[in-house]
Every structure is written in structure tokens, then in C-alpha cells.
Amino acid sequence: MEPRKKILKQLKMGTTEILILAILTKGDRYGYDISRDVKERSEGFFEFKQGFLYPTLRRMEENKLVTGYWKDSASGGPDRKYYRLTRQGRARLDASMEAWADFSKRFNKMLAIAKD
């Protein structure tokens, strides 16, 4: 794997939880819907594979960042598990956004050294 792709993969893995929490601020979603919305909003930059997304959602549920519930499928298919943002999840998102803003500001400032 080329260095740029490897670095991007690591960065993306570190932001998955934040992205899921951000999507859930717009309402309850089921897994595939979360994945599709993230992909669309990021213009394909972020893409969650099912084998990665669902374990992440389970961990987030165990950590009380989201709560899951089952709901009938409107299309008559199998029931879907929906996820809702909890107060703890919202607090984590707010703290993450604040930390990310501070981190990226300082990180970009340090990277500017390489341009001089």
C-alpha cells in the first residue's frame, strides 16, 4: 500500500465514531443508512464496510453513546436496527468537535513549517 493511502486509512479509522455521532444528530438511522449518508456527504471519501461499521455501532452502544432499537421495515423486508444518539453521545461529539478544531488548527500550523 502506498504511504498516502496507508496514512489516510489510519486517519479515517480514527474518525469513524465522530462521523457516526454527527450523522445521528439529524435523526435515528439504521446501519446501511448511516453508511450511505456518510459516503454521500463526504463525496465518497469516507466509506464504511459492514464488517467495520456494525462492530463499531455495537461498541458505541455498549459505551452508551448510542442506543439501538428494532423497527419494522417500511418496504416489508426484515426488521432494521436503528440507532439514536444519547446525551452521552452528544457530549462526546461536542467534545470531539472542539478537540478536533483545536488539534487541526495546531497541526496545520506545525505543517506550515514544511512549506517555509
Q: How much is the pLDDT for 8?
A: 87
If the chain, 116 residues long, is cut into consecutive pieces of 10 residues, what is the mean pLDDT of each piece? 87 91 98 96 92 95 98 87 99 97 95 87
Q: Which residue has the cell 456518510?
A: 38
What pTM did the predictor assign?
Answer: 0.88
| The CATH fold of domain 3-115 | Arc Repressor Mutant, subunit A (1.10.10)
Q: Where are the domains of the chain?
A: 3-115
Q: Are 17 and 60 in contact (CB under 8 A)?
A: yes
> Could you give the count of Cα atoms lying within 13 Å of 68 in the half-sphere of its Cβ?
16
Q: How many CB atoms lie within 10 A of CB 45?
A: 10
Q: Are 89 and 65 in contact (CB under 8 A)?
A: yes
Q: How much is the pLDDT for 26?
A: 97
Instruction: Name the 3-class secondary structure at 30.
Output: strand
